């Protein structure tokens, strides 16, 4: 972005977790999905915006326009597909690979906690790669940052009262500030794993083109119309499902025992009802759909009736 660009930031905070020690009556504690600009100036989780200046994709962001058709009978280059219900990633039979996550000990020390997150994200990438390969969609690299920047490719960072962690599609980064995460989860590994798996679910939506397709359907300036809020709920509920799908792929091996994976699954049901993330019942319902369904088609929130994404 150039110095005069106005960056859109349609944050969609998740509902508070009732058990969190940081929750107060005024605080909104949760997960954020943060918009990123495409080359056309479209917010990836929001509608069209007026951009003063030139909107540029963040360094390292995949753009399908750059893919070249291979010669002969070679497989086409992976590219994002801007579709929702019919996205190839959600086709029948697409599965994640079973993975063994060998995680270091969780710690309150920022450097060690960052290593814990990065090791888990590497394991999530390994689990998701077979599914992206089956869909012929790009396996973009997600990075993790445990310090909060003043600004990122998605604009000004949210406040501590707005987020526990958030994903920015513009720089494909999961921001999980140490103080925020420890304030919410302490050293309870299940909560850390559930949060990171959810945020990585947004990264998969970014890689596949689902976020871009959803952005193109947004109609109101601040994503606050009933139709736009339903779109956001479908995004967030799918991220829960994707997160639980990955937890199932790691369950019972390495550092993630079956009991730890089940505890992380239960964490998706600890939030209150939300008009942007869905009811507590549906938040847990979609997580369970991914955990037990074992295929990405179980996470097709875009094909679900409105009652299932309230």
CB 168 within 8 A of CB 115: no
* Cα atoms found within 13 Å of the Cα of residue 61, Cβ hemisphere only: 22
Beta bridge partners of residue 166, listed in sequence order: 32, 175
State residue 73's pLDDT score.
67
Question: 106-115, 144-153, 301-310: which range is least confident on average?
Answer: 144-153
pLDDT tens for each residue of 228-279: 999 999 999 999 999 999 999 999 999 999 999 999 999 999 888 988 899 9
pLDDT tens for each residue of 151-208: 888 888 888 877 899 999 999 999 999 999 999 999 999 999 999 999 999 999 999 9
Residue 40 confidence (pLDDT) above 70? no
Its pTM stands at: 0.81
Residue 89 confidence (pLDDT) above 50? yes
Helix, strand, or coil (residue 166): strand
Confidence of residue 219 (pLDDT cuts 50, 70, 90): confident
60 CA to centre of own chain:
18
Instruction: Give residue limits of the domains in the chain.
Output: 31-59+87-305
State residue 247's pLDDT score.
98
State residue 80's pLDDT score.
96
Specify the DSSP class assigned to residue 244.
H
């Amino acid at each position: 972005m150039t110095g005069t660009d106005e960056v859109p930031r349609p944050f969609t905070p998740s509902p508070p977790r009732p058990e969190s020690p940081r929750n107060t009556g005024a605080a909104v504690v949760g997960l954020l999905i943060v918009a990123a600009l495409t080359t056309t100036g479209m917010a990836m989780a929001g509608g069209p915006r007026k951009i003063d200046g030139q909107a540029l994709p963040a360094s390292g962001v995949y753009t399908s326009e750059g893919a070249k058709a291979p010669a002969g009978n070679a497989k086409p280059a992976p590219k994002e597909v801007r579709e929702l219900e019919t996205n190839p990633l959600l086709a029948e039979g697409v599965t994640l690979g079973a993975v063994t996550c060998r995680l270091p000990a969780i710690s309150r020390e920022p450097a060690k906690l960052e290593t814990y997150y990065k090791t888990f994200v590497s394991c999530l990438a390994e689990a998701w790669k077979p599914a992206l390969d089956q869909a012929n969609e790009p396996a973009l690299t997600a990075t993790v940052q445990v310090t909060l920047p003043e600004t990122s490719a998605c604009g000004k960072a949210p406040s501590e009262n707005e987020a526990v962690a958030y994903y920015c599609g513009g720089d494909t980064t999961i921001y999980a500030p140490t103080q925020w995460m420890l304030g919410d989860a302490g050293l309870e590994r299940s909560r850390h794993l559930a949060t990171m798996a959810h945020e990585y679910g947004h990264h998969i939506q970014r890689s596949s083109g689902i976020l871009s397709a959803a952005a193109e359907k947004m109609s109101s300036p601040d994503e606050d119309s009933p139709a736009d809020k339903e779109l956001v709920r479908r995004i967030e509920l799918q991220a829960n499902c994707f997160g639980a799908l990955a937890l199932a792929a790691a369950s019972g091996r390495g550092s993630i025992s079956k009991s730890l994976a089940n505890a992380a699954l239960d964490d998706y049901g600890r939030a209150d009802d939300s008009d942007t993330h869905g009811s507590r019942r549906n938040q847990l319902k979609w997580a369970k759909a991914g955990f037990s369904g074992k295929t990405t088609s179980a996470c097709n929130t875009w094909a679900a009736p409105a009652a299932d994404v309230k």
